[in-house]
Amino acid sequence: MPKNSKAVTITDGPAEQMVVKDLETLRMLTDPLRLQILELMSQPHTVKEVALALKTPPTKLYYHVGLMEERGLIRVVETRVISGIIEKKYQVSAKQFKVDGALLRVGKENEEGLLGILRGVMDGVAQDIQQGLERGLIQAGEDAPRHRRLMFGRSIFNLAPTQAEELNRKFQALLEEYGHDNTDPQAGPYSVLIIFHTHSQGGVEVD
């Protein structure tokens, strides 16, 4: 620890889940930059550390971090006073953010709900993939090592309701199997995006 420094740490970790119930907080989750900040803050980081990872000036992030803290998406888990200057480390407030179903209803009164989330997530994923390709962390092509290979695609299946339920359960079980904390020193972050839904042109409408 540097000279003339004093640290205060919060020992309890993030909650398992946080339910987002208002549009203002939802907007935080539809902004690509804020999504990147949240992903990095799955572990404690200072704003300067996040700025270094995102290759952007810290001054560009302080405003966003302040709003995210105000909305309860992140929290201060460590403060350190170094030569009279307070340095803060932030971490996500919850391991998973779940959106209240009422905000996902499609209609003129809620045009920023589900579509806003999808646009924000897709934009964030596209930016992350581009940065990964530029840095060589992601490689395209069948000859790329599997642990670096970019996998993406869209498939349409003809499934009976029982088969759709089974596939849904398998997706969930797979995420739970690999979603726990990994203590392997070679472990690193991987991103998985799964969207599974009845096709809009399926021809069967349910009241």
Burial of 184 (0-12, 13-18, 19+ CB in 10 A): exposed
Q: What is the mean pLDDT of residues 92-113?
A: 73
Lowest mean pLDDT among 80-89, 135-144, 176-185: 176-185
Give percent of the chain with pLDDT exceeding 90: 26
Q: Could you report the per-residue pLDDT of 12-57, keeping only the tens digit for each? A: 788 888 998 887 888 788 788 888 899 899 899 999 999 999 889 9
Q: Which of 207, 52, 172, 16 is nearest to 61 (CA)?
A: 52
Mean pLDDT of the chain: 82
What sign has the CA pseudo-torsion 53, 132, 186, 190?
positive
Question: 99 pLDDT band (50/70/90 cuts)?
Answer: confident
Q: What is the pLDDT of residue 9?
A: 62
Q: Could you report the per-residue pLDDT of 135-163, keeping only the tens digit for each? A: 888 888 888 888 888 888 888 889 999 99
Question: 207 pLDDT band (50/70/90 cuts)?
Answer: very low
Residue 100 near residue 29, CB atoms below 8 Å? no
Q: Does residue 194 or residue 169 have the better pLDDT? A: 169
Q: What is the mean pLDDT of residues 112-128?
A: 74
Q: What is the mean pLDDT of residues 87-115?
A: 76
pLDDT value at 175 more than 60: yes
Give percent of the chain with pLDDT exceeding 70: 86
Q: What is the mean pLDDT of residues 98-112?
A: 68
Dihedrals phi, psi of 79, to nearest 5 degrees: -120, 140
Residue 101 near residue 164, CB atoms below 8 Å? no
What count of other Cβ atoms lies within 10 Å of the Cβ of residue 57? 10
Q: What is the pLDDT of residue 44?
A: 92
